[in-house]
């Protein structure tokens, strides 16, 4: 069985034939009853898995051939078992979003010359999960990207004849939020009813979710949708998701103006009746598609609490319609900002307390409203230092999860691709995400948290690996009574089946963990954001991302000698990080030569990851040279001789950027979606007039820093691509 030999002999099998102790494949069959073929969830999984097995095996693969050499026997699903509350729903004292039990077990035995593998599960959802789990967790299929997968060559049956394997969902709801406030891969397909082949693109992603045993998808709706047609456009998509066992949610706002968020009402001085009329009309338009979840933002921005008490009646009004009329669940999110750090509105430290609904909403319960607790970037709930959104750590969020999960359905809502500033604009490939997300998953599983919904904002430059790993970690596996041990880099092993490859990747990850996260060098790799460069007056200089303790303008004009010398030691660490990364990438490149020779189909994956690591090291080199140049300008002002021939540092930075630009052009060959969708200037549904990789395409932020430091211009609007007025909702 795979878990028993996975890390001991699988690498030696990469370049060798499988031992003859395993059955030589002649035929495979999935055997099932008519009921399973009539149910859309199990039928689509069965038909998909038959087709996938045909791609992998040069043998007969068909349905209901009990004489096949390998028989995958599916169970009869009994209605009375399906209707029972899931193990997640048992014992809860609040309204719960129902989803069937979908744990599964496989039992294998040899009967004569036949291997019979029997699936045990109580729902059609469990059949789908069990079939895809067998392919990916045991038969070496890798559904690593919505557009790409690795299909193995099954010349022999790679599993032992007798085994018991149990798979248990860590979370009842597990899936992804696509942050379509940004121009991502699927933003236009989800928001523009006239986007070419849009519904097919969304369905491809839904298939990826199903193949990775996920059951939830959510995305942001913007005010640019065609409300007269969009609900009907999405109805087909939602119906397809349901046919794959996937719950669907939308992310909207009550009245947020930022980033073109869809508002349930618009206008500052409306009467309560006018607000409720708009809310009812907008929900009727949106809910022509049969949504399962409505995720509603109550505040104007992440740093604005709003008038909580004044909005509660409107929230109950929305909840009443969503629950009773559209049979969906209303949820809201808890932002990463501490209540005491809010810039405006009620700084209520118990904003998610239970509130008694007004009398007119008969039978409505506040605890029916779910809560999504949000964290950002590559930080864990359990990290001691999280220098983001003006936090020291996330203890307040962990405390909220602990408390709220006893009062209402509570899901964890972390990020997987914040590459700094505009999420994906530098770029950086930050593998400490793997450590943080696995750490959170395992600990929240032990706490009994019901859901894990990942805030995803881009898949290129290796970030598909983070989402794919999270999806697979959302299940626990046990083989013959032994639990699988999860590691941050385990799925690199699944892709390449080379112990040396996994070792190098793990060491690259450890170097990033040590320098970028533990030593907090990420503070110096981030380009300055608009808010970093704003004046401190009026509270505009908000800390969203990691940044130095002082702004770069201060370092240029006010920094004393001792502070500069201390900062230069940080710069030396940037060079050390870059050098260690480059040393490991030399080994990585040698592995790549072997991969391209013996497994050429894996070469694009390997090259993409190598380029992503390499540009992260170059970014450190670039920042080290530029910061040295900036500090030396200050030293020159102080009359210090270290500033002599300072321009060489700027010249070196420009040369490094030129080298990195070549890497970008090489990487664009590996993009899975058309470059014009994601990496060009183009009007789209969002408030940004370019795809999410446009600023990567020309390394605009790297060049901007060079010009800022050379020309001593630290204005947030200097050579900036951001239309702040549009982002904030002040301009259409």
pLDDT score of 356: 83
In this structure, are residues 502 and 494 in contact, taking their beta carbons and an 8 Å threshold?
Answer: no
Q: What is the average pLDDT score of the chain?
A: 91
Question: How far is Cα 211 from Cα 188, in angstroms, rounded to an integer?
Answer: 23
Q: Exposure string (b/e) for 90-109, b if CB count within 10 Å is 16 or more?
A: eebebebbebbbbbbbbebe
Which residue stretches of 389-534 are H helix? 395-404, 432-447, 464-473, 490-496, 499-512, 522-525
pLDDT score of 536: 76
| pLDDT > 60? residue 403 | yes
Q: If residue 535 lies in a helix (H) or strand (E), which one and from where to where?
A: none
Burial class for 691, CB neighbours closer than 10 Å (0-12, 13-18, 19+): buried
| pLDDT > 90? residue 352 | no
Average pLDDT in the 270-290 region? 96
Average pLDDT in the 440-458 region? 97
Percent of the chain with pLDDT over 90: 80
Confidence grade of residue 677 (pLDDT, cut at 50, 70, 90)? very high
pLDDT score of 337: 87
For 133-140, the CB contacts below 8 A with 24+ separation are 133/104, 133/167, 133/213, 133/475, 134/72, 134/106, 135/49, 135/52, 135/53, 135/211, 136/211, 136/212, 136/472, 137/2, 137/167, 137/472, 137/477, 138/1, 138/2, 138/165, 139/56, 140/494, 140/497
Distances, alpha carbon 248 to alpha carbons 144, 328, 471, 542, 592, in Å: 21, 10, 17, 34, 40
The whole-model pTM stands at 0.94
Q: Which domains does the chain have, with CATH numbers?
A: 2-168 (3.30.379), 173-497 (3.20.20.80), 506-670+699-712 (no CATH)
Integer-rounded Cα radius of gyration of the chain:
27
Per-residue pLDDT reduced to its tens digit, 97-114: 999 999 999 999 999 999
Percent of the chain with pLDDT over 70: 91
pLDDT score of 350: 55
Pairing mode, if any, of strands 247-253 and 216-220?
parallel
pLDDT score of 621: 98
Rounded to 10 deg, the angle between the 700-711 and 647-667 helix axes is 170
């Amino acid at each position: 069985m795979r878990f028993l030999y996975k890390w001991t002999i699988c690498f030696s099998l990469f370049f060798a034939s499988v031992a003859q102790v395993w059955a030589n494949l002649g035929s495979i069959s999935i055997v099932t009853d008519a009921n399973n073929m009539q149910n859309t969830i199990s039928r689509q999984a069965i038909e998909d898995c038959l087709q996938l097995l045909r791609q992998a095996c040069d043998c007969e693969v068909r349905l209901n051939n009990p004489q096949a050499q390998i028989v995958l026997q599916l169970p009869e699903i009994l209605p009375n078992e399906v209707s029972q509350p899931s193990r997640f729903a048992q014992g809860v004292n609040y309204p719960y979003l129902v989803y069937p039990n979908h744990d599964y077990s496989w039992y294998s035995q040899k009967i004569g010359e036949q291997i019979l593998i029997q699936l045990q599960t109580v729902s059609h959802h469990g059949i789908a999960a069990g079939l895809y789990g067998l392919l990916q967790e045991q038969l070496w299929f890798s559904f690593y990207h919505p557009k790409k997968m690795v299909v193995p060559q099954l010349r022999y049956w790679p599993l032992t004849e007798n085994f018991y394997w149990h798979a248990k969902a860590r979370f009842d709801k597990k899936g992804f939020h696509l942050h379509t406030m940004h121009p991502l891969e699927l933003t236009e397909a989800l928001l523009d009813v006239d986007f070419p082949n849009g519904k097919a693109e969304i369905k491809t992603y839904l298939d990826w979710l199903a193949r990775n045993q996920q059951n939830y998808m959510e995305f942001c709706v913007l005010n640019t949708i065609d409300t007269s047609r969009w609900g009907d456009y999405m109805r087909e998509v939602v119906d397809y998701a349901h046919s794959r066992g996937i719950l669907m949610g939308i992310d909207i706002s009550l009245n947020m103006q930022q980033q073109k968020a869809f508002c349930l009402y618009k206008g500052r001085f409306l009467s309560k009746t006018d607000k409720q009329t708009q809310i009812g009309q907008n929900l009727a338009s949106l809910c022509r598609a049969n949504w399962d979840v409505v995720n509603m933002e109550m505040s104007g921005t992440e740093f604005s609490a709003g008038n909580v008490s004044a909005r509660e009646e409107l929230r109950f009004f929305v909840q009443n319609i969503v629950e009773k009329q559209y049979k969906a669940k209303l949820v809201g999110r808890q932002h990463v900002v501490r209540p005491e750090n809010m810039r405006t509105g009620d700084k209520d430290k118990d904003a998610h307390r239970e509130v008694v609904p007004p009398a007119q909403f008969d039978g409505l319960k506040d605890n029916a409203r779910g809560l999504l607790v949000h964290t950002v970037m590559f930080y864990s709930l359990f990290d001691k230092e999280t220098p983001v959104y003006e936090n020291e750590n996330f203890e307040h969020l962990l405390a909220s999860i602990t408390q709220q999960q006893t009062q209402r359905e509570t899901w964890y809502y972390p990020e997987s691709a914040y590459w700094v500033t505009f999420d994906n604009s530098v770029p950086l490939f930050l593998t400490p995400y793997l450590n943080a997300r696995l750490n959170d998953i395992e600990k929240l599983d032990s706490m009994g948290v019901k859901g894990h919904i990942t805030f995803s904002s881009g898949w290129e430059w290796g970030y598909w690996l983070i989402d794919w790993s999270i999806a697979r970690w959302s299940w626990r596996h046990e083989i013959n009574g032994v639990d699988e041990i999860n590691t941050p880099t385990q799925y690199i092993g699944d892709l390449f089946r080379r112990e040396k490859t996994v070792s190098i990747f793990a060491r690259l990850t450890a170097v990033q963990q040590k320098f970028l996260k533990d030593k907090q060098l990420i503070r110096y790799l981030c380009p300055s954001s608009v808010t970093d460069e704003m004046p401190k007056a009026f509270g505009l200089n908000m800390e969203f991302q990691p940044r130095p303790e002082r702004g770069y303008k201060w370092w240029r004009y006010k920094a004393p000698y001792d502070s500069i010398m201390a900062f230069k030691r940080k710069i030396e660490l940037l060079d050390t990080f870059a050098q260690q990364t480059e040393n490991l990438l030399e080994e990585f490149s040698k592995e790549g030569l072997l991969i391209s020779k013996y497994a050429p189909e894996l070469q694009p994956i390997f090259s993409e990851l190598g380029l992503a690591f390499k540009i992260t090291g170059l970014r450190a080199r670039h920042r080290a040279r530029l910061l040295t140049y900036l500090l030396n300008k200050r030293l020159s002002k102080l009359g210090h001789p270290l500033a002599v021939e300072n321009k060489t540092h700027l010249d070196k930075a420009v040369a490094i950027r030129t080298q990195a630009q070549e890497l970008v052009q090489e990487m664009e060959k590996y993009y899975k979606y058309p470059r014009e969708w994601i990496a060009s200037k183009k009007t789209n549904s969002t408030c940004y007039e370019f795809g999410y990789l446009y600023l990567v395409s020309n390394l605009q932020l790297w060049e901007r820093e060079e010009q800022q430091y050379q020309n001593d211009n630290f204005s947030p609007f200097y050579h900036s691509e951001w239309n702040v007025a549009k982002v904030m909702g002040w301009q259409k």
